[in-house]
Amino acid sequence: MISETALLESAALRSSVLERTDVLDRVKALSLLPDGMHVTTAMVATYFEVAAEAIRQLAKRHRAELAANGMIVLRGADLRHFERDNMSLSLGSYPQARRSLTAYSRRAVLNIAMLLRDSPVARQVRTYLLDIEHLARTQPVESPAPASVELDARIDQRITHILGKTVVPMFNALIETSGEHRRELIELREDIENVERKLCWHHARLAALEGDTLVDEVRSKLKAMTWRAFEHHVADLLRRDGCLDVVVRQARTDRGIDITGRTADGRTVAVQCKNRSGRWTVPSADMQKFAGAARAIDQVDIALFVATCNFSHESEAIAKLSGVVTVNREELEAWSAGVRLKALR
């Protein structure tokens, strides 16, 4: 069993349990900014019932680790965009312009709980975290026969295919033509999509029992793709999620749009694909070009920018202003693993 001392001293152990951010809410409610994703230094200090300076000093000592888990320091245009979108009492009021602002994701807040030694709240979070991890490691897991695992996986995939190719498109058509029962049909469609997502995760669990990690498999396949293969991969994902007339366009005539199509309910779709690796991020110039082509020229209903990396703060801001839906590396991996893209529902 992992001890609290080991957790405080080992970055590797902390990294291994950072997905369990739900333990924060088990101890007390963590108030988030209006974007639903971040908190400020003052909000983190309030949660852990310590002085804000204690959080600042901790963030300074462990900057690299916290930055890898969602801590960001905003300045200039990024800061102005962030404050404009999150203007509230939680940001406080200042007589002069703020030069920078440090914002933390839930993952970064959990990271702080594993570093903050003198906070009773942080100790309680660590206690919950260690208890849950101990249960997960010691709970017996049934090991079905390989043939049974393979059969269950085939059944899951078949049901998921039927739901995605038949049932959900049927609901889309009914919703498009319905009147008074539109709300009920939308709720039923969401229930079906929830079942579909659960089957995808069940399939991932079965793969793990066989010794395969689905996310690692997806990640390695994406990494090995050429830019053209990646475009065709995204086109296949669109078709899998019920899109029709999906076309991968020629590079010389794409005007920043790599793929076009339409959803089952008739909405037009345009996609830009960027196959990049490492620390590369999508710059604002690429986002501006795509947003202009998708909105001003083609005037499509759904504009998707899909990348094997993350987006810069500037490109995210442009996407939000222009209505472009961004699909970053993590979201792409989930989409590739079987989870339907929310924008296409």
Contact (Cβ atoms closer than 8 angstroms) between residue 73 and residue 108: no
Contact (Cβ atoms closer than 8 angstroms) between residue 321 and residue 311: no
Mean pLDDT of 243-259: 80
* Residue 223 CB contacts under 8 Å (≥ 6 apart), including other chains: 277, 308
* Residue 247 CB contacts under 8 Å (≥ 6 apart), including other chains: 235, 259, 260, 261
- Residue 230, pLDDT > 60, answer yes
Q: Cα separation of 332 and 233, whole Å?
A: 11
**Which pair of structure tokens corresponds to residue 43?**
């909000």
User: Across all residues in the chain, what is the average pLDDT?
Assistant: 78
More confident residue, 241 or 54: 54
- Residue 284, pLDDT > 60, answer yes
Contact (Cβ atoms closer than 8 angstroms) between residue 122 and residue 112: yes
In terms of Cβ atoms closer than 10 Å to its own Cβ (0-12, 13-18, 19+), residue 3 is exposed
* Angle formed at CA 314 by CA 312 and CA 318, multiple of 5 degrees: 115
Q: Tell me how crowded residue 93 is: count the other CB atoms within 10 A of its CB.
A: 5
Q: Where are the beta strands (DSSP E) in 71-114?
A: 72-75, 100-105
Lowest mean pLDDT among 100-114, 206-220, 242-256: 206-220
Task: Write down the pLDDT at residue 252.
Answer: 53
- pLDDT level of residue 214 (50, 70, 90 thresholds): low
- Over residues 306-338, the pLDDT tens digits come to 999 999 999 999 999 999 999 998 889 888 877
Provide φ and ψ at 101, rounded to 5°.
-145, 130
Residue with tokens 């990640």: 219
Mean pLDDT of 165-185: 61
Task: Write down the pLDDT at residue 1.
Answer: 52
Q: What is the dihedral of CA 23, 29, 31, 37, to 10 degrees?
A: 30
- Residue 286, pLDDT > 80, answer yes
Mean pLDDT of 168-182: 61
Q: Tell me how crowded residue 12 is: count the other CB atoms within 10 A of its CB.
A: 7
> Which amino acid would we find at residue 203?
H
Dihedral sign computed on CA atoms, order 158, 164, 166, 171: positive
**Which pair of structure tokens corresponds to residue 305?**
């920018």
Task: Write down the pLDDT at residue 88.
Answer: 47
Q: Cα separation of 58 and 63, whole Å?
A: 8
Lowest mean pLDDT among 20-34, 41-55, 160-174, 277-291: 160-174
Q: Cα separation of 261 and 11, whole Å?
A: 45
Task: Write down the pLDDT at residue 2.
Answer: 61
- Over residues 88-147, the pLDDT tens digits come to 444 554 445 568 899 999 999 999 999 998 899 999 998 888 877 666 655 554 444 444
Lowest mean pLDDT among 45-59, 133-147, 254-268: 133-147
